[in-house]
Amino acid sequence: MIPQEIIWEVVRLTLYVVGLIAFAAFNAAYLSLAERKVPALFQLRYGPKEVGPYGLLQPVADGLKLMSKQLLVQDGTDVFLFKLAPVMVIVPAVMCLAVIPFSETVSARNISLGLLAVFSFSSVHVLGTMLGGWASYNKYASIAAARVVAQNIAYEIPLLLVVVALVMATHTCNLHEIVDQQAGAFWHWNVFRFQVSPLMPVSFLLFFICMLAEANRAPFDMYEAESELVAGAFTEYSGMGFGLFFIAEYANIVVGCSMATVLFLGGWHCPFGLLPGLHWFLIKLYVLCFCVIWVRWSFPRTQFYTLLNLSWKLLIPLAFINLVLTAVMLKIFG
Amino acid sequence: MSLTPVVMHSYLEAAVFVSFVVATLLGAIFAVASRRLVRCVCGLALSFMGLSGLYYYLQSPFLALMQILIYVGAICITIMFAMMLTDPQDQRLPRGRGMVLEAACLLVAGLMAVGLIVLICRAGWPVTSAPATPVDTFKELGRALLYRYGFAFEVMSVVLLLASLGALVVARGGRRAKP
């Protein structure tokens, strides 16, 4: 019977999305703790250690603080857009997470255009950040809004070019199928598929760099740049308004790292062909997240012109070379 | 209860469809009527979102996603970018734009609407039976673009190339003109 099925499907999807929002919030909480603990390790200090054992309850305290703060709205702001912006940033991130297959069974919908869905939804969050910056009616926030747009336009192009080359090699946009093609040991992963394109590791690196820039992470965090722009687009946000941006930022990192895992690192498959499952996906995901934090604390922030030059003069030509090479290789050997 | 589950199911579908239609229309009205440029662009984005929902209802999820990726993710953001470069703290547009102009706009828009409605009502809508298996739109579209509509595809790419070259020429001139 159709109706019963549909009701269950709606219930299942609702529960799954609630779970995903919880997952995003949990990641924001504990990745932000990692963000403080990991550099503490690099810089030979302790980091937060007062709240709970080893400071493990610090995110709870941070969350309580954010939630108990007043939401201030200044004069001159466009109130509607100001309040809409955090929502517009977080909803696309959750929608992306809904499409990503965490394991063979853990995914909301196995849709045939999953890859495209992730990239089209994730392109919306730029609009949200930009609106937040613009609606704040603050000079720092306006500069940040202009920056975030320029940066995201510049880095979306090489990102999509890399992905197009990958889709040419995999012949599908279905994320489940892409992962299944990489079953087995680690030399089946897309990063090491040299027979498709000898530039595959390079394209993984390109993807990772562009992902950092799309998620606005250091060294590309030009829109937040706390030493130049106070807090960039979030300057005027207080309490959970800021909190939502914060959750969205980490959710975007998780989406980016998940996509890198799915597209290049074999998804839920084990490097040695043993016991595939959710745990392998999470291990790969968090290793990549660690790399993201590692990069942030190892490299200084770039200048804005360097950032744009890097994309237009280096990454886009490289991505094009990769695309053409993949096409030629596929024509000859495919 | 008169609402049997099957009826409710079709109601659910209809409700989602109507919400997409309302989003499209409301967004379009916002885009035209708002006095703040940024809100106009937001209305445009909402309208594009609704339109992508309509594409989804027309059984072309590929087109729906591309609509979001290109129109919301690129076009709207580019418009915003242009606005940011010219006028970051925007001024409100003046309310009246001249009675004659407004009347002319209303007249043209009304005529267009009536014409379209008449056309839609008169056109025969041949109902082709839906294919039993869902068509892989992705591959079909690629094949159609490169075989059947190959010439149009190439012409469009030439147009885009010319546009980008033109943009480069204009930008170059601007840079040289600077003291």
The string of pLDDT tens digits covering residues A114-124 is 888 888 888 88
Q: What is the pLDDT of residue B2?
A: 38
Which residue has better confidence, B89 or A94?
A94
Q: What is the mean pLDDT of residues A78-100?
A: 85
Tokens 């409710």, residue located:
B8
Q: What is the mean pLDDT of residues A67-79?
A: 80
Query: Which residues on A lie below 8 Å from B88 (Cβ)?
Result: 134, 142, 146
- The tokens for A270 are 């084990």
pLDDT at B130: 59
pLDDT band at B175 (very low <50, low <70, confident <90, very high): low
- The per-residue b/e assignment along A79-108, b for 16 or more CB within 10 angstroms, e otherwise, is eebbbbbbebbbbbbbbbbbbbbbbbeebb
- Can you give the pLDDT at residue A2? 56
**Residues of B engaging A, defined by a Cβ cutoff of 8 Å:** 5-6, 8-9, 12, 36, 38-39, 42, 45, 61-62, 65-66, 68-69, 72-74, 76-78, 80-81, 84-85, 88-89, 134, 136, 138
- pLDDT at residue B8 tops 60: no
User: pLDDT band at residue B80, thresholds of 50, 70 and 90?
Assistant: confident
Whether pLDDT at B29 is above 80: yes
Burial of A150 (0-12, 13-18, 19+ CB in 10 A): buried
Domain borders along chain A are 70-333
From residue A199, how far is each of A83, A203, A327, B53 by CA, in Å?
44, 6, 12, 38
Task: From chain B, pick out residues whose CB is under 8 angstroms from the CB of A152.
Answer: 77
Please tell me the predicted confidence (pLDDT) of residue B22: 92
**A205, pLDDT greater than 50:** yes
Cβ–Cβ under 8 Å, residues A65 and A32: no
Q: What is the pLDDT of residue B114?
A: 93
Residue B94 banded pLDDT, cuts 50, 70, 90: low
Q: How many angstroms separate the CA of residue A272 from the nearest CA in chain B?
A: 33
Largest CA distance in chain A: 64
A316 vs B: CB within 8 A: no
Q: How confident is the model at residue A304, as a pLDDT? A: 80
3 state DSSP class of A333: helix
Does the pLDDT of residue A87 top 50, yes or no? yes
CA-based max dimension of chain B: 78
Q: Choose, out of A83, A130, A137, A159, the residue to mutate when testing the contact with B (most B CBs < 10 Å).
A: A130
Spatial distance between the Cα atoms of A133 and A216, rounded to a whole number of angstroms: 14
Integer angstrom CA distances of residue B162 from A173, A217, B155, B175: 31, 35, 11, 20
pLDDT band for A156, please (50, 70, 90 cuts): confident
Q: Considering chain B, what is the average pLDDT of its residues? A: 79
Tell me how far the alpha carbon of residue A270 is from its chain's centroid: 23
CA dist., res. A172 & res. A181, Å (int): 10
How big is chain A, counted in residues?
Answer: 334
* Cβ–Cβ below 8 Å for A78 and B66: no
The CA distance from B126 to the nearest CA of chain A, in Å, is: 28
Q: Quick check: B15 pLDDT over 80?
A: yes
Q: Where are the domains of chain B?
A: 1-94, 135-179
Contact state of A153 with B89 under an 8 Å Cβ cutoff: no
Highest mean pLDDT among A137-141, A148-152, A231-235, B23-27: B23-27
Residue with structure tokens 């909480």?
A: A29
User: Which pLDDT band holds residue A220 (cuts at 50, 70, 90)?
Assistant: confident
Q: Which residues make beta-bridge pairs with A272?
A: A185
Q: Which pLDDT belongs to residue B108?
A: 93
Q: Hey, of A1, A81, A83, A124, which one would you mutate to test binding to chain B, going by the most B CBs within 10 A of its CB?
A: A124
User: Cβ of A78 and B38 within 8 Å?
Assistant: yes
The pLDDT value recorded for residue B136 is: 61
The reply to whether residue B77 touches residue A134, judged by beta carbons under 8 angstroms, is: no
Chain B positions in Cβ-Cβ contact with residue A6 (cut-off 8 Å) = 9, 12
In CATH, the number for domain B1-94 is 1.20.120.1200
Q: How confident is the model at residue A96 (pLDDT cuts 50, 70, 90)?
A: confident
C-beta of residue A242 within 8 angstroms of C-beta of residue A83: no
Q: Which of A107-111, A230-234, B52-56 is most confident?
A: B52-56
Average pLDDT over residues B77-92: 72
* pLDDT value at A209 more than 80: yes
Structure tokens at B87: 């006028």
Q: Residue A3: pLDDT band by 50, 70, 90 thresholds?
A: low
Its ipTM equals 0.77
- Nearest by Cα to A209 from A317, A291, A114: A291
pLDDT tens column, A227-276:
777 777 777 788 788 888 888 888 889 999 988 888 888 878 877 767 77
How confident is the prediction for chain A on average, in pLDDT? 83
Q: How many CA atoms lie within 13 A of A183 on its CB side?
A: 9
